[in-house]
Structure 1
């Protein structure tokens, strides 16, 4: 192990007093850098000091490089706002529209659309779709990378729910875990190939994330994430599911990439902000060029997080199908909070960010949930160009979590759920059905974007807490 460098060693190299010295010394404590010899560490730091611009997108040294450069004399200027499509404008608050208009002023923006479930978020509004030129925006993807909906349809009638409420309730409690503390223990975990992915070793930032990913595999997040039993009503006889028109028992889950995705989002957003200085109103829209090392690493890490989120859903459905003793007739899965390389009608290749928006390409199947007391919809995308082949990802919030806690009482929410015959395990007033928009109004605003194949009506809902 190399002799530990100290602040005076860096000062003798020419490092200025201030933040850069502390950042450099902290980086040298990383395991793979501590293996370098004393001479190799000094040579690396000399090169960094002489050429900080070359390190602005380097995974290890971007923050130190930025600290070595003088403060930017000006921000990257925003451009004239480009036009974008707006669906269900009457249901969207002005703060979400303002955020979308800011995103449409980015120099890298090519096109955009705002879905009827849209509401305020960080950077891009939730429900925002943004196409960019060779650039990826971590906060336009979102913190919960690859958040997904997954539906299993079983060959059991709806009366199965009425007759076996307590048994199905117990299945949810025994076979699901929520939040950071309630995870599957040793001996309960299922293995998955995603944990063997090379990215965990090849991307420096991810080397210490494997343990957390392995701990949380097969579990769900908190907040609005859920696993629920309900009634699937197949309406379209031409559906691609191969399921006849009728009613069936269904299992629906909503969750994302857990701590892995959040860590990736926050880390690469900081890197993006270091190299992409935007005005304050646009700072959360900082981007990484896909030609940069950091951009390529984020892209690989994002795809890993998306696959990890899918693996979590597969394990949830695998556990519950086994407990039920049934194999599903059909499955539908889709995700949001992600970025895709796609081509516009003009033929231009772009990066399409869907933050809280469902992919709705021609023939693409998906699920758009409502609330605990309102149906969700099984849909087929129509590939509408003006929406960038997208649709809403749900009903969308009508109240913020803070406002819901202030205005809704727990007893009133429980009474409301009882009136709608909903069995709820866990959850809080911030996720009350009353805090969400009318899903029927949202769906009416996007009838040109998707065709409805069927519905899913919740009956037994499991969320964080409650046991």
Structure 2
């Protein structure tokens, strides 16, 4: 690969930062976070930065952080295993009903979504009575969870079993899409829900405590790390792998319920032709790169090994892509996880109105109210520019355009 496909940003005392950001904006806050992360002594080779890069907690979202002998829990984040799943069906556009409102409502009814904080009633984003199919999936996770909670009993008092098969809020979504051949796809975005959040926060605090105990000064306290061989490192590795398994099962359970709901509305029987992918984009795992075994944290990035399928979603009202990895070694075989935000949720709500949201999502059956303005397409980077910037990381297999979107 020629160097021209990425720019190299060299912080004064840190490792190189290779940035696939030609033609897309990168704000100063993101550059500052990259410089801080690049200073960490256990970084392997360089950081790889995807075109959707934007500021996160401690480290930027849209970055690939390879390390030896340490993990930064806040870089993995608190939505551990968050990712995408997409399924192609035997349906075509003409098989969908003329009015898509009933299909959206059926999906909303089948999958708990959003969040309600009323103290007396059930959270709308959790199961009241956990369905039998959800319990069957939880059974495969229960042993690992018991192992974790023996050492960390506070994690028992989380939403765990009753969040399995639920969507969440924020940028999590369920969509019905059409591809370039007018085939119908179902796609969704979610992660490890309440229990993953609790695991992430627990180990972030433990890492910070380790830094204080050993008088380690950091450029940002959210870069607190766990050292291999230390008291909490192996516990974190086990817990994060469990949360990633939970996230994968969460998406599978939701997808089964979405397909069942769709069958109840769409008059024509259909089958699923292929599962495009069920991939994480907030996670850490051991991989081999440049002839060495390293830990790779993808914080808002997707694995893109040669021939590997992945999903890069756009924003509400924008295209999404099923992609095939090119195995680019300089990127640690990675690509972006989406378009990437250009502004905060608060700023989006300040700048845009419900009418702006309505116009930006014309032709999409979705909510068009004040609660989802922070997800307006204009709050995100141009997905076409993002795809052009990473043309040496992935090739486009399918282009999807949503016709139904359910937001948390």
TM-score by length of 2: 0.87
How far is the alpha carbon of 1:93 from its aligned partner?
1.1
Q: Which residue of 2 aligns with 1:330?
A: 274
- The correspondence of residues 199-214 of structure 1 with structure 2, limited to 5 A, is 199-203=144-148, 204-205=151-152, 208-209=155-156, 212-214=159-161
Distance 1:187 1:445, change over 3 A: closer
Residue 307 of structure 1 aligns with which residue?
245
Following superposition, the deviation at residue 143 of structure 1 comes to 1.2
Q: Distance in 2 between matches of 1:412 and 1:128?
A: 31
* Pick aligned residue for 1:93 from 19, 27, 35: 27
Name the CA distance, whole Å, in 2 between partners of 1:97 and 1:364. 29
Preserved CA contact (<8 Å) 2:104 2:366: no
Contact persistence 1:161–1:168 (CA under 8 A): no
In the alignment, is the contact (CA less than 8 A) between 2:281 and 2:298 conserved in 1?
A: yes
Question: 1:141–1:354: 8 Å Cα contact kept in structure 2?
Answer: yes
Aligned equivalents of 1:159, 1:219: Cα separation in 2: 29
Q: Which residue does 2:7 correspond to in 1?
A: none
| Aligned-pair CA distance for 1:455 | 1.3
Shift of 1:164: 4.7
Q: What is the root-mean-square deviation of aligned Cα atoms in Å? A: 1.9
Q: Secondary structure at the match of 1:334?
A: strand
SS in 1 for 2:78: coil
Farther off after superposition, 321-330 or 264-273: 321-330
Answer yes or no: is 1:259 the counterpart of 2:194: yes
**Structure 1 portions without partners, runs of 5+:** 1-77, 234-245
Distance 1:449 1:278 in 2: 37
Alignment partner of 1:159 is 2:106 = no
Q: How does 1:54-203 map to 2 (within 5 A)?
A: 80-89=13-22, 90-110=24-44, 111-161=46-96, 163-180=98-115, 181-182=123-124, 183-186=126-129, 188=131, 190-195=134-139, 196-203=141-148
- Map Cα deviations across residues 115-134 of structure 1 (whole Å, 9 max, x no partner): 11000011110001111112
Q: Is the 8 A contact 2:107 2:262 kept in 1?
A: no
Q: Counterpart of 1:372 in 2: which secondary structure? A: coil
Trace 1:23-34 onto structure 2 (pairs within 5 A): none
What are the equivalent positions in structure 2 for 1:401-416 lying under 5 Å apart? 401-416=345-360
Q: Give CA deviations for 1:432-456 in whole Å, capped at 9, x if unaligned.
A: 1111110000000000000111111
**Alpha carbons of structure 1 residues 193 and 177: separation in structure 2 relative to 1, 3 Å:** closer
TM-score in terms of structure 1 length: 0.76
Instruction: Measure the CA separation in 2 of the matches of 1:117 and 1:151.
Output: 20
Q: Deviations over 1:133-165 (max 9, x none)?
A: 121111111110000100011100112335251
Q: Which runs of 4+ in 1 moved over 4 A?
A: none
Q: Which residue of 1 aligns with 2:185?
A: 250
Pick 1 or 2: higher relative contact order, CA cutoff 8 A, min separation 6. 2
Alignment of 1:323-402 (within 5 A): 323-325=261-263, 326-331=270-275, 332-345=277-290, 347-402=291-346
Structure 1 CA distance for aligned equivalents of residues 130 and 279 of structure 2: 30
Deviations 1:392-420 (A, max 9, x none): 000000121111011001122113322xx
User: What's 2:162 paired with?
Assistant: 215
Q: Distance in 2 between matches of 1:364 and 1:381?
A: 5
Question: What SS does the corresponding residue of 2:95 show, helix, strand or coil?
Answer: helix
Find the aligned partners of 1:382 and 1:436 in 2 and give their Cα distance. 25
Aligned length: 372
Once the 2 structures are TM-superposed, how far is the Cα of residue 84 of structure 1 from its aligned partner? 2.1
SS of the aligned residue for 1:156 comes to strand
Contact between 2:107 and 2:261, CA under 8 Å: does it hold in 1? Answer: no
Which one has the bigger strand percentage? Answer: 2
- Determine the C-alpha separation between the residues in 1 that align with 2:312 and 2:109: 26
Q: Secondary structure at the match of 1:396?
A: coil
- SS for the counterpart of 1:430 is helix
SS in 1 for 2:166: coil
In structure 2, the residue corresponding to 1:402 is in which secondary structure?
Answer: helix
Structure 1 distance, partners of 2:158, 2:207, is: 26
Change (3 A) 1:297 1:322: same
- For 1:59-101, what per-residue CA distance to the aligned partner results, in whole angstroms no more than 9, with x for missing partners? xxxxxxxxxxxxxxxxxxx992111210115421121111111
